[in-house]
Structure 1
Amino acid sequence: MITTGINRAARSTSAIGIVGTGSYLPAHVVTNAEVGEPAGVTDEWIFGKTGIRNRRRAKPDEATSDLAVIAGRAALESAGISAADVSLIIVATSTPDSPQPATAAIVADEIGARPGTAAFDVNAVCSGFLFALTTAEGILRAADGDYALVIGADIYSRILDPADRRTAILFGDGAGAVVLGRSGGGELLAGRLAGYGADRDLIRVPAGGSRIPPSMETVRAGLHYFAMNGRGVRDFVADTVTAGIRTFLVDAGVSAADLAHFVPHQANGRMLEDLAGQLEIPFERTRTTFEELGNTGAASVPITLDHAARAGAMGTGDLVLLAAFGGGMAMGLTLLRW
C-alpha cells in the first residue's frame, strides 16, 4: 500500500493541484434495448440492476488514443496552457491502441508535445486514473516540473462479449483528463494506492498476453473477452473499499461530513448508492455520470470530475474525495481541495 500527503510536514510547501479538466465522449449513444437484446435482458432489468440507461460507443475507426487526445486538448484549454508547457503525460488505460508502443506516446505526438516529453501508460484497470494521478504528482514534486497531463481512456466495447449480461450491459467508451500544476489554490492533499492480488481473478481478460498468447483457438473460445465475477466485485467494494475509504479519511483527519463532493468510479449505480450509504456520504454530494454513460473504465472518474466542474458544482476550497476500484484487484483514493 502506498500513501502520500497525509504527513504534511514531509511535503513541499508548493501546492500541486488540478488546474484544468477535460473529457470526450463518442457521439454514438447505445441504449439498454440495444445491449440488452443479445444479452437476453430488458431495458427494465438493466436499469433496475445498475441504474444505467445509456452508454457511448466509439466509432470503428476510433482508437483509445483518439479519445485521449481530444480529452487531453480540452484539459489543456481549460488550464490555459499548451502542450509545449507539459513535461509529463500519463495515460491510464487497460484497452491500449496496441501492446506497444504506449498509448501515451501516440497522444504526446498528436497533441504536439515537445520532443523529449516523458510519456507512458499505467494499467490498474478501472483504478488506473488515480494511480496515474498520484504518480504524476510525485514526479512533478520530485523533478520540480511545471505541468503534467493525466488521462484516463478506455474503449471497453472492443473487449466485451455481447451475450454476457454480467458485462455487456455495464460499459461505455470515453476519456477524461486533468492538468496538474503549481496551482496557487487547490491542492492534492493525500492519496492512497492499494493492491489485492489474491483477488485478481475477479476481473480479467484471460488471453492475449504471454501467459496465454493469442491464437485462433483462444479467439474461438472467447478468451479475449473481458470477464468479471460481479458478486465477488460487489463484496470487494462492500468490504475492502468501504473499509479502505474510512481508514483513509481518518488518517487524513477528515470526516465524511467534511466532504463537499464524492467522485467514485462509476461501476454500477446501485453499488454506488450502497457505497455512499455505508460511508454516510449523502448521495446528493456524490457526483455521477453512470446513468447516461455507464462504466467508462479508467475514464470514469476524470469524466465525472470534468462534468461536475463544467456544471459549476465545484466551489473554491471544496474538499473532494476521488475513489476508484478495479481489476487487480486495486483501489486508488485521492483527497483534494478545489
Structure 2
Amino acid sequence: MDTVIYITSTGDRAAPGNGHLLHGELMLAPHTLVFDINDACTGFVRSVILGNSLIASGTSKAILIVISDTYSKLYEDSNLRVSPLFSDGASAIILTADALTIPGIRHPSRKWEILSSTVISEGNHADDLTVTRGNEHFPFGELEMNGAGVFNFVVKHVKSAVAGAVTRAGLGHDEIDSWYIHQGSRAVVDAVSKSLSLDQDAQFVSREYGNVVGSAIPFQILAETAGMTETELFGSEGRYLFLLAFGVGLTLAGLTIRQSRG
C-alpha cells in the first residue's frame, strides 16, 4: 500500500487520526500517503472518488480505504430518534489502477471504471445531522438528528442528481444492473426507491444490521456478491452499478460504475 484513506467520524483520538494509527499498526512504509477524513454516511462513495483521482494522477498505485464508525457510543438506547436506526460497522477495500479488492470475498478482483459522479453539499443544514463535541454525559460526543430535515434533503435532490449522473455515463436508467442505496432508514430508502421507480422491498436490506454509517454500501456489496456466480458478477461485457449515499453534511454522493473482471 502506498496510500491509506481512513474515513470515520468517531475516531479514537482528536489527533492523530485513525489512519495514522493504522499506518503504525500495519508497519507501512514511511513514504505512505495517509488521509484522515472526518466523514460519515457518504464517506465510502467520496473516498472512491478521491482514490480514483489519486490513481489517475499517478500519485498513488495501491490504496487501502478503511471505513469504521462506532455510533452506539453517541446515544442512549432510550433515544428513540436514533437508537433504532444506527449501529456500529467497519469495512475495507483495496483500490489499484487495475482492480478493486474486497478482503474476504472469494471472487476474483473486479475492475471498477467510474463513468460519472455526483456530489451535493448543503452545509447550511449541518445541524440536521451532527455529532456534538464531547461532554460529561457523552465523552465522545452526542448524535443529534432532525429526521425530517434529512429526509427532505434527500427527496429534494435524489431524482435529479441520479438522473444527471446516469445520463453523463451515457446510460439509461434501466441499464443499471445493481443499485446500492445507503441504508439510512426504511423510510428514506423507500422514498428514494419510489423516486427512482425501483422495487422498494428489494432496496432495503439492512434489517439485520441497521445503518452502519459509512460502511452501509460495502456491506450491501458484500451481501450481494456472496451469492453470485462469476458470470452474474461480471456479465459478458461487464455490469453497471450505481452507488448512492447521503447523510452528515448534509451531503449526497453518487457514482455510476462499470464493473468487469480485474
Give the TM-score category using the shorter length: 0.7 to 0.9
**SS in structure 2 of the partner of residue 293 of structure 1:** coil
Q: Which residue of 1 aligns with 2:157?
A: 240
Instruction: In structure 2, give the amino acid aligned to 1:226.
Output: L
- For structure 1, which runs of at least 5 residues remain unmatched after alignment? 1-85, 209-217
**SS in structure 2 of the partner of residue 163 of structure 1:** coil
Q: CA deviation at 1:120?
A: 1.6
**SS in structure 2 of the partner of residue 309 of structure 1:** helix
| 1:238-274 deviation digits (Å, cap 9, x = unpaired) | 1123332222222322222111111111111232122
1:1-338 matches, cutoff 5 A: 86-143=1-58, 145-183=60-98, 185-208=111-134, 218-220=135-137, 224-283=141-200, 286=203, 288-312=204-228, 315-316=233-234, 317-338=238-259
C-alpha contact (below 8 Å) 1:260/1:285 kept by paired residues = no
CA distance in 1, matches of 2:7, 2:115: 21
CA distance in 1, matches of 2:146, 2:83: 13
C-alpha contact (below 8 Å) 1:205/1:224 kept by paired residues = yes
**SS in structure 2 of the partner of residue 267 of structure 1:** coil
| 1:23-48 deviation digits (Å, cap 9, x = unpaired) | xxxxxxxxxxxxxxxxxxxxxxxxxx
**Residues 116, 225 of structure 1: CA spacing in aligned structure 2 closer, same or farther, 3 A cutoff?**
same
Q: CA deviation at 1:223?
A: 9.7
* Backbone CA RMSD of aligned residues: 2.2
C-alpha contact (below 8 Å) 2:55/2:97 kept by paired residues = no
CA distance in 2, matches of 1:121, 1:223: 18
Report how many aligned residue pairs link the two structures: 243
Instruction: In structure 2, give the amino acid aligned to 1:308.
Output: E
The two structures have a TM-score, normalised by structure 2, of 0.85
**Residues 311, 225 of structure 1: CA spacing in aligned structure 2 closer, same or farther, 3 A cutoff?**
same
Higher helix fraction: Structure 1 or Structure 2? 1
- For structure 2, which runs of at least 5 residues remain unmatched after alignment? 100-110
**Quick check: 260-269 or 303-312, which moved more?**
303-312
The two structures have a TM-score, normalised by structure 1, of 0.67
